[in-house]
């Protein structure tokens, strides 16, 4: 994984950052100072792990020799084999920790998210599938101990969702759910189908990290237009008699956000602004991603909303993730929120690609 060039480059970068930290001018920029401290700590941890890895490799080599060569005797060989098992496990853990330390953290990994699910092709069946996806993510959030809050919803006549926007709050939510963005496809016999034919329908999923103060997402009052109107749907008589629903238009980008889930106009406005900030941050991150080389973007997926990411085939109880060519015959469990196997493999491949990119950057 690491060759001497990489290690030397790590040492040079750590030394350069250490010199920066000694510059008194840096104290005038607390945010930059914190970033450099964090980066220096990461590189120093990586170098310490390199030293641990090399020590364990030497120890492993000595123990292998002691366990296999007759000159050390049977008793010493048995002790060496016992120690060898321990050292092998410790070495694997150290190499995994080193791989993680070499990958720079992404600032959005720890964020909560706003998710948007919209029915695609397929009419009422697509809306029902959108409702299935919302239930799947809600169940998954329950398993993770996260909190789901609906922010806006547009229901279909048969009980599905034309669109549903909701937040998922908790630690590292974006790190786990980011891979769900894209087009999800379902193959099944719709409840409206009289002849038992299998139909294909789609729904799109967008996963937006929540914006934070450090993102510098500035929305000026003169850049937005706020319209009030009467909410529709459930909520009793009051929700339909008062203009509690809010529509916010961001004039520079044309983005429009509507929220009518709450009876309070103030709460609806707060939720709509959260969604708007998340969408603006998403636009900013997408633009930054476009500047990355094609080699680094040819990964699990570009995050493009038009990319087909997964197929749910009901007749075969099959779920296929097209980005990693993974097929599981556990559709029922997955739709019930058991997503860990799918997402863990997506995360592993994403981290492997980011590690390759980090090593290439060190070598350049």
Which DSSP helix (H) or strand (E) runs through 363? helix 340-363
Strand 224-229 vs strand 199-209: parallel, antiparallel, or unpaired? unpaired
Q: What is the pLDDT of residue 131?
A: 96
Tell me, what DSSP letter sits at residue 98?
H
Q: What is the pLDDT of residue 232?
A: 67
Question: How far, in whole angstroms, is CA 340 from its chain's centroid?
Answer: 13
| Percentages of the chain per state (helix, strand, coil), in multiples of 5 | 55, 20, 25
Question: Taking the domains of the chain in order of start, what are their residue ranges?
Answer: 4-102, 113-210+306-363, 221-288
Q: What is the pLDDT of residue 264?
A: 85
Tell me, what DSSP letter sits at residue 160?
-
**CA–CA separation, 318 and 329 (whole Å):** 4
Mean pLDDT of the chain: 87
pLDDT digits (tens, 9 = 90+) for 13-37: 999 998 888 888 887 888 788 889 9
Classify the C-alpha dihedral 291-297-302-308 as positive or negative: positive
- Please state the pTM of the whole predicted model: 0.78
Under a CB-based contact definition with an 8 Å cutoff, are residues 348 and 355 in contact?
no
Nearest to 154 by CA among 232, 208, 228, 226: 232
**Neighbour-count burial of 235, counting CB atoms closer than 10 A to its CB (0-12 exposed, 13-18 middle, 19+ buried):** middle
Selected residue with higher pLDDT from 204 and 294: 204
Query: Which of these CATH numbers, 3.30.160.20, 3.30.465.10, 3.40.50.720, 2.60.40.10, describes 221-288?
Result: 3.30.160.20
Strand 161-169 vs strand 113-119: parallel, antiparallel, or unpaired? antiparallel
**Mean pLDDT score, 336-345:** 96
**Neighbour-count burial of 318, counting CB atoms closer than 10 A to its CB (0-12 exposed, 13-18 middle, 19+ buried):** middle
**CA–CA separation, 283 and 160 (whole Å):** 28
Q: Do domains 113-210+306-363 and 221-288 have the same CATH topology?
A: no
Q: Which residues pair with 257 in a beta bridge?
A: 248
Please report how the helices 74-102 and 340-363 are oriented relative to each other, as an axis angle in degrees rounded to 10.
Answer: 80
Selected residue with higher pLDDT from 297 and 258: 258
pLDDT digits (tens, 9 = 90+) for 5-14: 888 889 999 9
Nearest to 114 by CA among 276, 286, 350, 301: 276
Q: Which residues contact 24 (CB under 8 A, 6 or more apart)?
A: none
Q: What is the pLDDT of residue 293?
A: 45
Strand 308-313 vs strand 182-188: parallel, antiparallel, or unpaired? parallel
Class of domain 113-210+306-363: alpha beta
pLDDT tops 60 at residue 241: no
pLDDT digits (tens, 9 = 90+) for 149-196: 999 899 998 889 999 999 999 999 999 999 999 999 999 998 777 677
The size of the chain, in residues, is: 364
Under a CB-based contact definition with an 8 Å cutoff, are residues 133 and 117 in contact?
yes
Q: What is the pLDDT of residue 297?
A: 42
């Amino acid at each position: 994984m690491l060759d001497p060039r990489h290690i030397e480059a790590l040492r040079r970068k750590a030394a350069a950052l250490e010199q920066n930290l000694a510059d008194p001018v840096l104290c005038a920029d607390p945010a930059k100072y914190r970033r450099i401290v964090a980066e220096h700590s990461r590189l120093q941890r990586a170098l310490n792990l390199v030293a641990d890895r090399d020590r364990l490799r030497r120890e492993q080599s000595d123990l292998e020799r002691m366990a296999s060569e007759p000159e050390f005797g049977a008793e010493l060989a048995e002790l060496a084999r016992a120690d060898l098992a321990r050292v092998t496990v410790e070495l694997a853990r150290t190499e995994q920790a080193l791989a993680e330390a070499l990958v720079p953290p992404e600032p959005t990994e720890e964020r909560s998210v706003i998710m948007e699910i919209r029915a695609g092709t397929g009419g009422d069946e697509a809306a029902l599938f959108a409702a299935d996806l919302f239930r799947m993510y809600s169940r998954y959030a329950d398993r993770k101990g996260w909190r789901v809050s609906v922010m806006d919803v547009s229901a279909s006549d048969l009980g599905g969702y034309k669109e549903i926007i909701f937040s998922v709050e908790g630690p590292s939510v974006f790190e786990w759910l980011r891979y769900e963005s894209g087009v999800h496809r379902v193959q099944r016999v719709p409840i409206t189908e009289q002849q038992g034919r299998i139909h294909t329908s789609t729904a799109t999923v967008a996963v937006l990290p929540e914006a934070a103060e450090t993102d510098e997402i500035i929305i000026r009052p003169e850049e937005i237009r706020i319209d009030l109107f009467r909410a529709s749907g459930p909520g009793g008589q009051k929700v339909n008699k008062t203009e509690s629903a809010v529509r916010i238009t961001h004039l520079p980008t044309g983005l429009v956000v509507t929220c009518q889930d709450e009876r309070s106009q103030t709460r609806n406005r707060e939720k709509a602004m959260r969604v708007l900030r998340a969408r603006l941050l998403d636009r900013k991150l997408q633009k930054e991603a476009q500047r990355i080389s094609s080699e680094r973007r040819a990964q699990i997926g570009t995050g493009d909303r038009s990319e087909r990411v997964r197929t749910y085939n009901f007749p075969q109880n099959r779920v296929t993730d097209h980005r990693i060519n993974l097929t599981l015959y556990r559709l029922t469990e997955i739709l019930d929120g058991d997503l860990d196997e799918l997402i863990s493999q997506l995360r592993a491949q994403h981290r492997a690609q980011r590690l390759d990119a980090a090593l290439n950057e060190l070598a350049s």
